[in-house]
Amino acid sequence: MSIQDWIKNEVDSNDVVLFMKGTPNFPQCGFSGQVVQILDYVGAPYKGINVLEDDELRQGIKEFTNWPTIPQLYVKGEFVGGCDIIREMFQNQELQGLFSEKGIETTQQSA
């Protein structure tokens, strides 16, 4: 299985996937940490995948979306964005709306 196939499988088989530096319990960069805080705050269940464990994965995820930075958030197989986009969506209640729209239960419902 190629790295692209592996990434596609992870994105397709998990409702919410965060490709990040570090783990949800121990983010290893500020941007990954911010996205983890946002996802934890809204109470969205997600799978964190540490790109620092594998150089092929770290490069492969950038090629998968043609997006140069990490973290990268996927919801129901769709690339949502990186830290700045997620933070902006959260502040505008768009992220919570996206989870609701996609049928993902969160502990904090949007207003």
pLDDT in tens, 19-53: 999 999 999 999 999 999 999 999 999 999 999 99
Interacting residues of 90 by C-beta distance below 8 A, sequence separation 6+: 38, 41, 42, 96
Q: What is the pTM of this model?
A: 0.94
pLDDT at 108: 75
pLDDT band at 88 (very low <50, low <70, confident <90, very high): very high
How far apart CA 63 and CA 93 sit, in angstroms, is 29
